[in-house]
Amino acid sequence: MELKYKIDELKSYLGQHEKLVQAIGLIYWDMRTNIPSKAGESRAKVLEYLSGESFKMITSPKIEEFIKDLTPYKNEMSLIEKRMLEELERNYNETKKIPEDKYVAYVGLCSNSELAWEKAKDANDFEIFKPYLEKVVEFQKEFIEYWGYKDDKYDTLLDKYELGLTTEKLDKIFSELRDGILEVLNKIKESKKKLNRDFLYGHFDANKQKDLSLYILEKIGFDMEAGRLDVSVHPFTTNFGNKDVRLTTNYHEDEFTSALFSTIHEGGHGIYEQNISDDLECTGLQTGASMAIHESQSRFYENILGRSKGFCSYLLPVAKKYFEDFKDVTLDEFYEAMNYVETSLIRTEADELTYGLHIIIRYEIEKELINGRISVSELKDLWNKKYKEYLGVEPKNDAEGILQDMHWSDGSFGYFPSYALGNLYGAQMFNTLLKENPNIMEEVKNGNLTEITKWLNEKVHFHGAIYTPEELIKRVTGEELNPKYFIDYLKNKYYKIYDVE
């Protein structure tokens, strides 16, 4: 049959492209984990070459032919085939708008810019990174002109990570979120209850932290035979299909939570990727529904489960086996320490409550920058001003301020909102999970997350990118994204912890 033949032909073409993408991904992984510092620039050349080849494949006239040949059969196609064609068309139309030489030059710039960011962060000096960032921003602005935009230039970038998202929609969501966070935060400030987390600081041997991280990772359902855990400056997850999913973390010997919760967070991303259906291989759909849906899973494991009272009651006796320091700590003390709220400077270490404010700051800055209302030279002052205004803290240096995240170095503008949206999606899914299974958190006390992971596998992970984020959240929860669930979750949890109403 003609259709089946054509689909097989397309899958084989996409399969070839996928091999190239995996090789590129492996180089990125190596650059962020193992590469000798002197090898950075020559490796960037390898990346440039391979990315050029990948670009050629996805903008090839062959793709246009596939689209032309397959479109008349749309009504005969399965859901997966239809979505595969739609994604192919969208990607093709978008990518071919950028001239190949521009794209290749941009990829080269980004790998050097990433290395410059690392150097700048080590040296605590924004000036080292600034010239690279200026170029990255210029490229992004140029790309937006190629891609086109309607009202707000930043919408074009948002849409890349969350299909259909606009600043108009996000302004509303974030204003509701900000008000909700501030309401809870103000109550906490008035609370007479003072929590103690001193015992989370001290000396925690990195090897023991690693053993504990690996133990917990398997416990929450990450398959170590289809993945691994390494170390990098900035924890991340990358994958090559669903049988090789690589996570990284970063051990700090002076405190307990950072590496463990980074590992659980990345583990959430990893569990998602490992459980995407094999049927989606070579379709372009064997990936998450969106970056925000991805973040909903990582932050679900990290916070909703990882920092729940149930999980803490499982974790504490385990932690005691690894670290003597905890021998007198009670469950309440441990749970409260894990959920200690304090406005702070570093996003990745922010508590669950104030985390969203870090994202809103970046969102507001990116909007201004991409629309040309501020320049890279003004970024640092604006950053510091907003931290003072929203969180009441001021960075003492660049490393704990403007240089803390790597995202801008590789041009990931428009990505940050995914983290906050992930919290919202996650809480909304949690609400449905509890409605369908009122006692499911009981099992978490025994460290048994199997039922929860199974629920997420069926509802979310398995489907990869078959559904758009909008379709997926409706399928899972019966309604569109609503910030109310996350705000209610925060109130429920933190009012109890801090003894306020």
Applying CB under 5 A, which residues contact Zn ion?
A: 298
Instruction: Work out the burial of residue 149: count CB atoms within 10 Å of its CB; fewer than 13 is exposed, 13-18 middle, 19 or more buried.
Output: middle
Cβ distance to Zn ion smaller for residue 10 or 247? 247
What angle is formed at CA 357 by the lines to CA 174 and CA 391, rounded to 5 degrees? 140
Least separation, in Å, of the C-beta of 365 and Zn ion? Answer: 20
Cβ distance to Zn ion smaller for residue 88 or 158? 158
Tokens (6 digits) for 360: 């809103």
Please state, in angstroms and as integers, the Cα–Cα distance from residue 215 to each residue in 28, 123, 235, 369, following that order. 26, 35, 18, 43
| C-alpha radius of gyration, the chain, whole number | 23
Least separation, in Å, of the C-beta of 269 and Zn ion? Answer: 6
- The secondary structure of residue 73, as a DSSP letter, is G
CA distance 434 to 412: 34
Residues 6+ apart with CB under 8 A from 243: 226, 274
Cβ distance to Zn ion smaller for residue 209 or 298? 298
CA atoms 365, 366, 371, 374: torsion sign: positive
CB 261 within 8 A of CB 61: no
Least separation, in Å, of the C-beta of 95 and Zn ion? Answer: 25
Least separation, in Å, of the C-beta of 389 and Zn ion? Answer: 26
Cβ distance to Zn ion smaller for residue 54 or 423? 423
What angle is formed at CA 445 by the lines to CA 433 and CA 327, rounded to 5 degrees? 145
Least separation, in Å, of the C-beta of 235 and Zn ion? Answer: 8
Which residue among the candidates 266, 273, 302, 352 is catalytic per the annotation? 266
Residues 6+ apart with CB under 8 A from 185: 341, 343, 353, 354
What angle is formed at CA 412 by the lines to CA 160 and CA 83, rounded to 5 degrees? 25
Tokens (6 digits) for 453: 């992971």
CB 124 within 8 A of CB 118: no
Least separation, in Å, of the C-beta of 483 and Zn ion? Answer: 19
Residues 6+ apart with CB under 8 A from 99: none
CA distance 346 to 395: 9
Cβ distance to Zn ion smaller for residue 137 or 293? 293
Least separation, in Å, of the C-beta of 299 and Zn ion? Answer: 7
Cβ distance to Zn ion smaller for residue 51 or 296? 296
Tell me, yes or no, if 266 is annotated catalytic.
Answer: yes
CA distance 76 to 78: 7
CA distance 87 to 245: 23
Least separation, in Å, of the C-beta of 458 and Zn ion? Answer: 22
- CB-nearest residue to Zn ion: 298
Cβ distance to Zn ion smaller for residue 347 or 474? 347
Cβ distance to Zn ion smaller for residue 257 or 298? 298
Please state, in angstroms and as integers, the Cα–Cα distance from residue 103 to each residue in 51, 53, 63, 128, 134, following that order. 9, 11, 18, 24, 17
Cβ distance to Zn ion smaller for residue 139 or 301? 301
Please state, in angstroms and as integers, the Cα–Cα distance from residue 298 to each residue in 55, 159, 223, 305, 306, following that order. 30, 21, 15, 10, 10
Least separation, in Å, of the C-beta of 295 and Zn ion? Answer: 5
Tokens (6 digits) for 230: 């390494």
Phi then psi for 238, rounded to 5 degrees?
-140, 155
Active site residues: 266
